Amino acid sequence: MLKINCDMGESFGAWTMGDDSHVMPHIDMANIACGFHASDPLTMAKTVELALASGVAIGAHPSYPDLMGFGRREMSIAPAELKQLVIYQIGALNGICRALGAEVSYVKPHGALYNKMVVDEAIFRAVLEAVSQYDAGLSLVVMAVPESENLTRLAREYGVNLLFEVFTDRAYDENGRLASRSIPGAVFHTDIEIERQARAIIERSAVITLEGAEIPVSADTICVHGDGPRAVQTAQLLRSLIG
């Protein structure tokens, strides 16, 4: 069964982002920021408590170290260093979990790192090594892409299980890759579009392309964007469709 995941804990100090307490009851997996692109230790603890209260699985959501850019800017960090940045973040969140009687069960990299790892093997290996050396029992969430067999093969080398992720508020290109945000129609802004994409994914294991075609996709989890105005209602919609 498809799991609903959402980025959580992306407030920082005095700044608020997202509507975590209202989204949490409708999702299965909470990707909790670890302080490098968002969050701070107190925010992380509060978010872990929310996840515990709703019985939601907790994932580490590590990032490049870039608060000002919210982890959305590519940074050329050497793989050996990147590996330690990822381990540090997983460990930090897991420490906060441990103090609250919870634990991290998967990892979903954030932003520019999330995008980079599916197109740069050295970076993907660095993330896999981080997960594998920290705890090979953690799953790693990656974008569902056409070359998923290659990713799966690499992950197997490190003994890491992958969870492929799809998006209901985005169109795909004819190869099954996310259509670039710069293309008109690539980002869905209406409930109708989002529901149509959600139904394709949930009911037919397919995604709708820019041209309106459907192509098959193998997905384990659907992302709800937690920082948008529509987060709660999208989460509710997905919950009602998935059951």
How far apart are alpha carbons 193 and 41 in whole angstroms? Answer: 37
The answer to whether 36 touches 6, Cβ cutoff 8 Å, is no
Q: Using CB under 8 A, which residues numbered 11 to 40 contact a copy of itself?
A: 11-17, 35, 38, 40
Which of the 8 DSSP states describes residue 71?
Answer: T
Q: How far apart are alpha carbons 99 and 97 in whole angstroms?
A: 5
What x-and-dash track marks residues 43-72 binding a copy of itself by CB under 8 A? -xx-------------------xxxxxx-x
| Contact between 96 and a copy of itself per CB under 8 A | yes
Cα separation, 211 vs 197, in Å, equals: 13
Quick note: the x/- pattern for a copy of itself over 157-196, rule CB under 8 A, is ----------------------------------------
Count of positions on this chain that bind a copy of itself (CB under 8 A): 49
Rule CB under 8 A: choose which of 54, 84, 152, 233 binds a copy of itself. Answer: 84
Tell whether residue 73 is a contact of a copy of itself (CB under 8 A). Answer: yes
The amino acid occupying position 182 is S
Beta bridge partners of 4: 222
Tokens 């954030």 belong to residue: 110
Residue 183 CB coordination number (10 Å):
11
Binds a copy of itself by CB under 8 A, chosen from 99, 119, 122, 183? 99
Residue ranges binding a copy of itself (CB under 8 A) = 11-17, 35, 38, 40-42, 44-45, 65-70, 72-77, 80-81, 84-85, 87-96, 98-100, 112, 130, 133-135, 227
